[in-house]
């Protein structure tokens, strides 16, 4: 019965009952229902079939025995929403996810995907009209979720939204409330398989682990560079951005710039940004000739690494190029047209 309290809460909300209304049907106090839902107490065994009947579900469902099946259904719903619509049709994706919440109220996975949808479109396309909805979903997850990953994800997205609204103070306060999580202390399947299994079993997980660590490393180098740049240490920033560039290029599948050259699709955006950041440092350090070379390399990446997508809609990619170009002071080198 370890998850029954969460299930009672989920089903009660789905049926639209208050704790008082459910208590009346069971001839118990509202405080009893509250204790069940907080899992400080559990229903008596005789109440289980009555609860199942009230909610019109099986006892297995009430007891959470179909949790895996529910997770699979939710994953399929999220896949249905994300694959064709996440970036191309926010309204369609939003509707699929909000409809799913009618069937699975308070589901962390659906709420996380919905929040991610809002935050990504706000950050990428400046769709600030979604700020109110995004904040509502984030605060709900932060207040109600018992899942540390959902909680941290919600805090991260809410902090991002605060920053988009120039609210640095609340963003920092939220970020400061996140736990320090040292991944090498986590005995997850990927690492333990890589350390302990053999042959194909070891290889499969080690290859995936390498890709994750590769991405983490070049992003860490980039963030270190941004920190140095913001504090005026341009020589150190240049070193960090160069390290970022070197990590990306070390693991590319070919020297030729193309969408297929990257082991993780989307890395081309980081690759382009890195060269503009290098150019910004070189300009600050008075190395204008080297700056020109880095700017040209960044443009080659954005135009070639996105292939046909760039030809069809160059502005989609140049919007980010312009933002970084301006952020790193390259308008002083030459206005970008």
Q: What is the pLDDT of residues 133-150, one digit of tens each?
A: 999 999 999 998 888 889
**What is the per-residue pLDDT across 13-45, written as a single tens digit (0 to 9) for each?**
888 999 999 999 998 999 999 888 888 888 888
Judge whether 215 and 248 are in contact, CB under 8 Å. Answer: no
Judge whether 97 and 117 are in contact, CB under 8 Å. Answer: yes
> pTM of the prediction?
0.69
Separation between Cα atoms, residue 104 and residue 283, nearest integer Å = 54
| Percentage of residues in the chain having pLDDT higher than 70 | 95
pLDDT at 19: 92
pLDDT at 120: 94
pLDDT at 1: 41
Give ranges for CATH 1.25.40 in the chain: 69-181, 204-332
Separation between Cα atoms, residue 58 and residue 239, nearest integer Å = 61
Res 181 pLDDT > 80: no
Q: What does pLDDT average to over the chain? A: 91
Res 207 pLDDT > 80: yes
Give ranges for CATH 1.10.260.40 in the chain: 4-63
**What is the per-residue pLDDT across 289-331, written as a single tens digit (0 to 9) for each?**
899 999 999 999 999 999 999 999 999 899 999 999 999 999 9
- Quote the tokens at residue 124: 């990428």
Nearest to 5 by CA among 62, 67, 70: 62
Judge whether 114 and 144 are in contact, CB under 8 Å. Answer: no
**What is the per-residue pLDDT across 47-89, written as a single tens digit (0 to 9) for each?**
888 998 898 887 767 776 566 677 888 999 999 998 889 998 9
Helix (H) / strand (E) containing 246: helix 234-250
Helix (H) / strand (E) containing 233: none
Helix (H) / strand (E) containing 112: helix 108-125
- Which CATH number does 69-181 carry? 1.25.40
List Cβ<8 Å contacts ≥24 apart for 35-44.
36/4, 36/5, 36/8, 37/5, 37/6, 37/8, 37/9, 37/12, 38/5, 39/2, 39/5, 39/6, 42/1, 42/4, 42/5, 43/1, 43/4, 43/8
pLDDT band at 182, cuts 50/70/90? low
Separation between Cα atoms, residue 182 and residue 117, nearest integer Å = 27
- Which CATH number does 4-63 carry? 1.10.260.40
- Which CATH number does 204-332 carry? 1.25.40
Higher per-residue confidence, 116 vs 181: 116
Helix (H, G, I), strand (E, B) or coil at 65: coil
pLDDT at 38: 84
- Across the range 94-114, mean pLDDT stands at 91
At which residue do the structure tokens 């904040």 appear?
Answer: 135
Higher per-residue confidence, 179 vs 98: 98
| Percentage of residues in the chain having pLDDT higher than 90 | 67
Task: Supply the DSSP symbol for 110.
Answer: H
Higher per-residue confidence, 160 vs 316: 160
Res 186 pLDDT > 80: no
């Amino acid at each position: 019965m370890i998850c029954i309290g969460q299930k009672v809460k989920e089903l009660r909300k789905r049926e639209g009952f208050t704790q008082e209304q459910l208590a009346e049907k069971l001839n118990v106090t509202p405080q009893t229902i509250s204790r069940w839902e907080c899992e400080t107490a559990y229903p008596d065994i005789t109440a289980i079939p009555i609860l199942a009947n009230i909610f019109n579900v099986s006892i297995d469902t009430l007891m959470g025995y179909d949790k895996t099946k529910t997770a699979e259904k939710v994953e399929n719903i999220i896949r249905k929403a994300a694959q064709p619509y996440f970036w191309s049709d926010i309204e369609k994706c939003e509707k699929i996810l909000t409809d799913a919440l009618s069937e699975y109220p308070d589901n962390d996975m659906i709420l996380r995907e919905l929040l991610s949808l809002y935050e990504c479109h706000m950050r990428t396309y400046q769709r600030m009209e979604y700020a109110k909805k995004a904040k509502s979903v984030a605060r709900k997850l932060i207040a109600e979720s018992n899942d540390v990953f959902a909680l941290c994800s919600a805090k991260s997205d809410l902090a991002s939204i605060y920053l988009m609204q120039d609210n640095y103070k609340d963003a920092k306060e939220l970020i400061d409330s996140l736990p320090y999580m040292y991944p090498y202390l986590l005995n997850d399947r990927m690492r333990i398989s890589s350390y302990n299994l053999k042959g194909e079993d070891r290889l499969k997980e080690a290859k995936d682990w390498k890709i994750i660590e590769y991405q983490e490393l070049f992003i860490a180098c980039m963030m270190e560079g941004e920190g140095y740049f913001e504090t005026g240490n341009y020589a150190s920033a240049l070193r960090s951005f160069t390290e970022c560039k070197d990590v990306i290029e070390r693991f590319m599948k070919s020297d030729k710039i193309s969408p297929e050259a990257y082991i993780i699709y989307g890395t081309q955006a980081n690759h382009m940004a890195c060269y503009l950041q290098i150019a910004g440092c070189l300009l600050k350090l008075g190395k204008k000739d080297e700056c020109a070379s880095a700017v040209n390399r960044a443009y080659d990446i954005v135009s070639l690494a996105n292939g046909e997508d760039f030809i069809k809609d160059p502005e989609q990619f140049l919007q980010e190029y312009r933002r970084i170009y301006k952020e790193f002071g390259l308008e002083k080198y030459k206005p970008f047209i």
